[in-house]
Structure 1
Amino acid sequence: MLHFSNSLTRLLGELKKLPGVGEKSALRLAFHLLKSPGNIEALAESLNEVAAKVRFCSVCFAITEEDPCQICTGEREESTLCVVEEPQDLLAMERSRAFRGRYHVLQGALSPLNGITPASLRIAELMERLRDERVREVLIATNFTVEGEATALYLTKLIKPLCIRVTRLAHGIPIGSDLEYVDTATVQRAVEGRSEL
């Protein structure tokens, strides 16, 4: 059996903690870094910089170096608030350039089986924002998973009594797809969510 030095073993252990990285991927990454010590130094510096500078916005809970973040302080539509599960979902929305309002990041989705309850998420902060800000529409952009759907339903029940319009991202058949290859649940949702031309 092959034995590595303590430092390499520790590196492999840390790499395996990353999502999608198993034993083989960790070895590949470690040996890639070892081929060029400059890569290790640059990676360590960038990790230290992120640890020192990056935090969550105190308003929307997106990742930022400035608090509040540029989206919260920028020229955005104040009447529309998009609720997403994670910061990377916010980035996906921004890349689309389709939404020009503000955001609220929940930091997850409801999953009682995994111990994620409403108190575990940034729902109380969302409700506080809705009471204090001039929001007229909340776009719920949680993922189309069981947890995301449960979170959307829960939020809808909380927000509707505030007389704020609640909308949900449309979902259905992706552009470029052949209908015959799309699963039945997706086809069903596409039919239910059809719009007039």
Structure 2
Amino acid sequence: MTLCHEFTSRDKLLPAATLGNYNKRNGCANAIKIANNFVDTYTEWLSERPGLGLYLNGPNGLGKTHLLTGMYKALMKRNVSAVFMTTYHMFQRFKEVGKVNDYEYEKRLLKVLYGCEVLLLDDVGGEVPYDSRAEKLLDVINVRSQKRPIIYSSNFTTGGLEQWMGNQGKRIADRILENAITITLDGESKRGLINDEHHDWLAGRVKGLE
């Protein structure tokens, strides 16, 4: 838990944000229901779908960072080891390792990224898509695959992320689709779209899910 605190992007957390005060605007109702279900039934979720996370995508202003902040706070209160990190911050951490060649620092960083129970990655695709960065992200996804969930937020659909992330884009998008339920926050719709093979299982867990 100490390492989780050390590597969390604390300056990017929204201080007042919780799942309880999330503004249920158009196109986001499903997202908050699923976020609450993930937190409240985390042990059951992990038992039934090991490593299954969420990929929340949609334009700015719909509360994606609010949702991730709220999930992070709620999980930590339940003593679930969680890390909230922007992908830009994650890449900067790897860059620091390269500059100083600090083996112990790298060891702590990888222990957190690979081993924390829930990793919350905010603003995926918000950084410049160098191939070296894409490879780091892919490595983290692969190590955690079907073991420990990642909760993502992004302005990109997985298709858009594939194009943005360069040579590794397709592999990253494929891995995300394998290991996360894709939820599109859409200000035009009333509930938000869910495009995922796990939909029927999820609908059985979350009352009123469409």
Q: TM-score range by the shorter chain?
A: 0.3 to 0.5
- TM score, norm. by length of structure 2: 0.31
Q: Higher Cα Rg: structure 1 or 2? A: 1
Larger relative contact order (Cα-Cα within 8 Å, sequence gap ≥ 6): 2
- TM score, norm. by length of structure 1: 0.33
